[in-house]
Every structure is written in structure tokens, then in C-alpha cells.
Amino acid sequence: MCGLCGAFGGSDHWTAGTGAETAGATPTAERRARAATANEVLAFYGLSLGEWAGRFTLRSRTGRMAVVEHFGAIWPEAERLAGQPCDPLDEALITRLEAT
Amino acid sequence: MNGGDKLSVHVLTGFLGAGKTSLLRRLLALPALGDTAVVINEFGEVGLDHLLLEAVDEDIVLLKSGCVCCTVRGDLKNALVTLMERRRSGEIPAFARIVVETTGIADPAPIVATLTADPMLRHHFRVGNIVTVVDVPNGLSNIDAYPESLRQVAAADRLVVSKADLADTEEIAALEAGLRAVNPTATLVALDEHAVPDPERLLADLHDETARPAEVARWLDAVASTRWRFHAHGTHDVNAHRDIRAFVLRNAQPLAWPRFALWLSMLLNRHGAAILRLKGLLALEGVEGPVVIQGVQHIVHAPLHLKAWPRGVPLTEIVVIARGLDPTLVQRSFEAFNRLRPAGDAAA
């Protein structure tokens, strides 16, 4: 369950959107695409996200791992695995994203 | 995701002595709200004797207007589940909406969180309007002195200005300016002590498809005025109240939903306590019309569709009411995560 929003499963969490944004993609392909998007940011913290059986797995470079039920639940786990805050207002992160 | 047959739960809040019980007493007598269930703290506070039709049990009474009135004996979840069970069994009449009155010092966000997060409640209910009553004599000083009052005002969809008859026009104007600074997107409703309150104006919410375009148009009007009301550095900023500031994230390029969801979930995870309210329209890749998004603190409601762009042009505009966040940095982060050209460049 998501500590942030309390959602069970991913289908009705707000991060799933309205469904219209991903029309045409299979659920697995859609989750893989989302994981690839998240990895652009998670790489900054030495983490990577993968699609796994309708969920996501979050891994650190040292092999620590967490299962994430839905896209909105990534960040509490990412902070735990990275051992640091994941702040989208961090100037260093923003500068790196602007450069890519 | 329009909520199907879920019931709207409106939250009636306001600081101690603001006049929310007085407003509630007047609303309960209205036949127009006969299909409403009201959850209050104690029957005694509202003084229902003259409205009472029948007591179902010690916690639930039926009023002459048709309203079902229920007290919170344990927690809110229990009260709502009891109401739904009694409704299903036919012990109380069917109702079309619920109004929950909070205690005077309550932050409305946990109520919204309960409705949004509880696995049982979220399938029966959706969050309607947050209606906050603010009285003219004490409203501004309460906002300054009590964080709870500030959060009630910042979270509001409707700001009801009460006890205007006890103040002069300058005091009323000062309060309204203060409320606009904290929460420019809420509709201000002046409560006339001698007129019947308009329940439609207070309770028509985003889930009502007929009311949705007008509601969103009101936000955008607030956005339009926000654009011009920022003052130069060092002068008074009418969109700020102490460290609370309303600002707008804006960009004309369509957003990819996964990027936006990633950014917003990350922002709310780290800064959810500082973001008191968030409302806006999104232009999304692959989606024809606008998508409405709104949240209170770290809670985001399920996005809703709007049939047409209110101004005919696709444009993402998100109003954020936040404490201590730098609007320029938030906009820069929003653009970097979403791979957007800076809005200033696009306009040039």
C-alpha cells in the first residue's frame, strides 16, 4: 500500500491518469515505458526501476530492492534505498535534467 | 474516471466561532437539501429540536426537510459506513450527498485523506467541495495566529464570509483581500444573515459535469488575475500572505502524463506538507480535451476530463498555493522534468 496516498494496487491511483493518455499500449508495455521515464530521474540516485508482473521493482547499485505497487509509490522507497532525500527542487538534479 | 455512482462528501469547516454551525443550521432547514446526509459532532451544538422529525437511534435523526443528520461517535469512517449501511437497509432515506462538519480547529486535509485513501470509503465516496466559513471580525487575525485556520482557508473551494453585519466595509475588504492572497481559486460567498443561503452555489462541485466548466472557468479567471498581480521585487505582493504564496505553473506544450505524474508524485512526497492546494488544467499528449487535476497537501484526486478548452486554446495552467516554496524554482523543475521549453521562451 502506498504510504503517500494509501492506494491499493495501481489501477485507481491518480498517477494511472484517466486511461486516455495511454490508449493503444498494452499494460505491460505501458509500465515499461513508465519505468524508462522514471529511470531518467532515478539514475541520479543510483537507482533503477523495472516492470515486474504488473508492478515495479526498484533496485539500487548495491543490490537492495523494493517492490513498488504503482507509479506513485516510487519516492518513499527510492529515498529509503538511496539513503537520501529525492527532491525535484534540487538544483543539481534540475540542471542535469536540463542538460539531457 | 468520473466517479460513477460515488457520493460527493463535502467538508464544512471554519475556525472556532466563525459561524459554520449557524450556516449549517440554516442549510439543514432547506428543502433543497432534503437529499443530504449531514455528519456533525453533536446534535446539541446545532439545536435541531425545531427541525426534528424522527430519531432513528441515538446517533442518527431525520429532519423535517428530509435531511439525515448523524453524529460522529467514533471516527469519521465509522459514521460514513453506518450511514451507508442504514441507507442500504432502508432504515433511512436515500441521500444524494454528504456534508461533514469539522471541529473548529480541524485541518481538512486528513478528512480528504481518509476519503481518498481508505480502501472501503474510496469506492463509495469522492471528495466534493471544501467549504470554509471565515468571519469578518476575527478571520484575518485567526489566519495569522493559527495554522489550522490558514490551512482551512488554503484548502477551500468556497470561502464563506460571515458576520459582515458586525464590521465596516473596510474590514470586509481587508478580509477579502487577505483571503484572495491565500487562496485565489476559491469562490468567495458573502453570507447574508437575512437571506436564504444558496446550497447550489456552495455545493455544486467538479463531479457534476454541468457545473464543471463554470468551476474551472473560475479558477482560470483567478489564474488570469494572478499573472498580473505579482509586484516587483521589494514591493507588496498581493498573491502572498506571509510565507504562503499562490503562483501559477504554465506551459503551452502538451505534457506526457507519465512524466508529469512522476514529477508531481516526487514533489508531493518531499514537499506535500508545504503545498496547501493545487488546482489546474493539463494539456496532455494524446488527449483531445483538458484534464482537470487538483489536490490538497499530499493528496491528489483522480483526474477528470473537461469537454472543451475554456478559452479555446490548449494550455497547461496549475495554480499552486504553497508555503515557503520558490515559484521560479518550481516552474523550472516542472519544465525540466517534463522536457518543456521554458514558458518565457515559448511566448517569445
ipTM of the modeled complex = 0.88
Whole-prediction pTM value? 0.84
Q: Say which DSSP state B15 is in.
A: -
Closest CA to B166 of B195, B191, B202, B132: B191
**What confidence score (pLDDT) does residue B231 get?**
40
| Nearest residue to B28 (alpha-carbon basis) of B101, B79, B94, B132 | B101
- pLDDT of res. B226: 57
CB contact under 8 A, B117 and A98: no
pLDDT digits (tens, 9 = 90+) for B78-127: 899 999 999 999 999 999 999 999 887 888 888 888 888 888 898 899 99
Stretch among B54-68, B197-211, B233-247 having the lowest mean pLDDT: B233-247
Kindly report the nearest CA distance between residue B115 and chain A, in angstroms: 10
Q: What is the pLDDT of chain B when averaged over all its residues?
A: 86
Is the minimum CB–CB distance between B301 and chain A shorter than 8 Å? yes
Give the whole-angstrom CA distance, residue B323 versus residue B275: 6
Contacts of A99 in chain B (CB under 8 A): none
Q: How many CA atoms lie within 13 A of B239 on its CB side?
A: 23
The domain ranges of chain A are: 28-99
Read off the pLDDT of each residue in B26-48 and give the average, rounded to a whole number. 86
Cα distance from N-terminal residue to C-terminal residue, chain A? 33
Which residue among B1, B286, B333 places its CB closest to the CB of A88?
B333
Residue of B263, B269, B301, B335 to mutate, testing the A interface (most A Cβ within 10 Å of its Cβ): B269
Which residues of chain B make contact with A37, given a CB cutoff of 8 A? 256, 258-259, 262
Provide the pLDDT for residue B233.
44
How many Cβ atoms from other residues are within 10 Å of residue A30's Cβ? 18
Q: What is the pLDDT of residue A92?
A: 97
Measured between beta carbons, the chain A residues lying within 8 angstroms of B303 are: 14, 17-18
- Please tell me if residue A25 touches chain B, with a CB cutoff of 8 Å: no
Q: Are strands B158-162 and B125-135 parallel, antiparallel or unpaired?
A: parallel
List of domains in chain B: 7-205 (3.40.50.300), 215-226+239-339 (3.30.1220.10)
pLDDT of residue A15: 87
Give average pLDDT by consecutive 10-residue segment, chain A, 100 residues: 38 75 76 93 97 92 93 93 97 95
For chain B positions 127-186, those within 8 Å of chain A (CB to CB) are none
Q: CA dihedral in degrees (A28, A32, A33, A36; nearest 10)?
A: 170
HEC sequence for B95-148: CCEEEEECCCCCCHHHHHHHHHHCCCHHHCEEEEEEEEEEECCCHHHHHHHCHH
Q: Does A72 touch chain B (CB under 8 A)?
A: yes
SS3 B251: strand
Mean pLDDT over B270-283 rounds to 93
List C-alpha distances in Å: B344 to A12, B44, B188, B255, B312: 35, 57, 32, 17, 21
